[in-house]
Amino acid sequence: MNEMNSLELHARVDAIYRNESRRVLATLIRLLGDFELAEEALHDAFAAAVTQWPREGIPDNPRAWLVSAGRFKAIDSLRRQTRFDASVTELARQLEIESTTVSDWDEESVADDHLRLIFTCCHPALPPDAQVALTLREVCGLTTEEIARAFLTRASTLAQRIVRAKAKIRDARIPYQLPSTEELPERLDAVLRVIYLVFNEGYSASFGDSVTRADLSSESIRLGRLMNELLPEPEAIGLLALMLLHESRRTARTTPEGDIILLDEQDRTQWRQELIEEGSSLVERALRSRRFGPYTLQAAIAAVHAEAPSAEATDWEQIVGLYDVLLRVEPSPVIALNRAVAIAMRDGPQAGLELIEAILSRGELRDYHPTHAARGELYRRLGRFAEASDAFQQALELVQQGPERRFIEQRLAKLCL
C-alpha cells in the first residue's frame, strides 16, 4: 500500500467506483442474498475506503477489500438490528459463519456474480418494464432520475417499479443463479431483448425532441460487451454487432439542428469505420457458428448497408435475401415491412407498395407510423401525390417524436409545391 495526497486518492477512489462498483454489488448480492442490504453495504464499503485508504493506502486488490468491508458492514448493521428485531438474528449468525476466503470474490467468481445479476434482473417472472428499469439501475448503475428522464417517466413511478421488482425477487424466492443448460436459450433471449430494447430507445427515441439518446445507446453497448465477455453465445455476438453497426452512423443521422437525414442521403465519411470493422467482424464470427438467429441476421443486413461505399452501390439483392431468411426465422409484420421497403429499392416502388398494402389489409401495423410514412414515400416516387399526401397525413397523426414529425411535415410541404 502506498500513501498519496488527498486529491490523487479521491480520483483513484472515484475511478474504482466507476469501474468496480457494479461488480462489487453483484458479489455482495450473492453473499448477502438481498438487494437493499447489498446496496447499503456497497455504500458503507466505499465510505470506509474514503476514511481508511488515506491512512493505509489503496489495497492491492481494491475489489476484494470492498467486498470484505461491505460484508462486515452488513453484519454489523444486522447485529444492531437484532436488538430490535429477533428475526434477523439468524441471518446475521449465518453470514458470520459463511466462508470469507478471497476465493469468494476472485475474478471467476465475480464474473459469475455479474452474470447472475444480469439474469436475475431480466428474470421472466418480472414485467418487461421492470426488467429494463432494474437492469439499468443495478447492472449499469444509472440513477432512478437518469432512467426516468430517458424513458420520460416520473422518477417516483420508476422508483416504485424498481421496488416492486426487488420485492418480487424476494417474495417469489427467485434464485440468484445462472440458468441451467436447458433454460439458457430462453433466459438468454430475455436478457438480449432487454439490451436491444434499451439500445432501440437510445438509437431511435420513441418520444421527445431528439432522434437519439446517446446515454442509453452507450449503456446498451456496454452491456452487450459485458455479455460477450461473460457468455459469448452467437446471438449475443450478433446483437453486439448489430448495435455497433447502427451506432457507427449516429452522427450522420441528423443535421446540426436535429433534423433527420435519411440513410441514402447521409454523409458516409462521418460513419465511424472502427465500429463498422468491429461489427462486421463480429457478424462473420456469429454466422460461422451456424447457430445464429434474428439479431445476427439483422446485423448482417446492417453490415451490407455499412460496407456499401455509396447508396447507389448498396447490394439490395443480398439485403432482400437476408430479409427472406429473417422473416422465416422470426415472422413479424415489422420485418415484413422492412423487407417490403428493401424490395421497393430492388424492384421498384410498385412492388414494395403492394406488399405494404397487403400487410395493412391483414390488419397489421395500422397504428405504426413508419408503415404510413413508407407508403407515402412509395406513392410519391410513383407520382401519385394525392395518395402520398393521405399516407403522410396518417403517419403525422401517429408520430410522437419531434424530429420525425418535422420530417413528415417537410415531405407533405414538398408535395404541395
Q: Whole-angstrom Cα distance, residue 140 to residue 209?
A: 25
Most confident stretch, 19-23, 206-210, 314-318: 314-318
Q: Is the pLDDT of residue 99 over 50?
A: no
- Name which of 219-223, 245-249, 295-299, 317-321 the model is least confident about: 219-223
User: What number is the average pLDDT over the span 331-350?
Assistant: 97
User: Contact 78/91 with Cβ under 8 angstroms?
Assistant: yes
Helix locations, 231-272, DSSP H = 234-247
The C-alpha cell of 289 is what?
A: 457458428
Between 393 and 75, the more confident residue is: 393
Q: Is the pLDDT of residue 83 over 70?
A: no
pLDDT digits (tens, 9 = 90+) for 159-170: 999 999 999 998
User: What number is the average pLDDT over the span 235-258?
Assistant: 93
Please report the domains of the chain, with CATH numbers, ordered by start residue. Answer: 6-100 (no CATH), 108-204 (no CATH), 330-417 (1.25.40.10)
pLDDT of residue 208: 53
State the number of CA atoms in the 13 A half-sphere of 417 facing the CB. 7
Measured distance between the N- and C-terminal CA atoms of the chain, rounded to whole angstroms = 74
Q: Which residue has the cell 452488513?
A: 74
Q: Alpha-carbon Rg of the chain, whole angstroms?
A: 25
Distance of alpha carbon 138 from the chain centroid: 13
User: What number is the average pLDDT over the span 5-32?
Assistant: 85
- Report pTM: 0.78
Q: Is the pLDDT of residue 114 over 90?
A: no
Confidence band of 82 (pLDDT split at 50, 70, 90): low
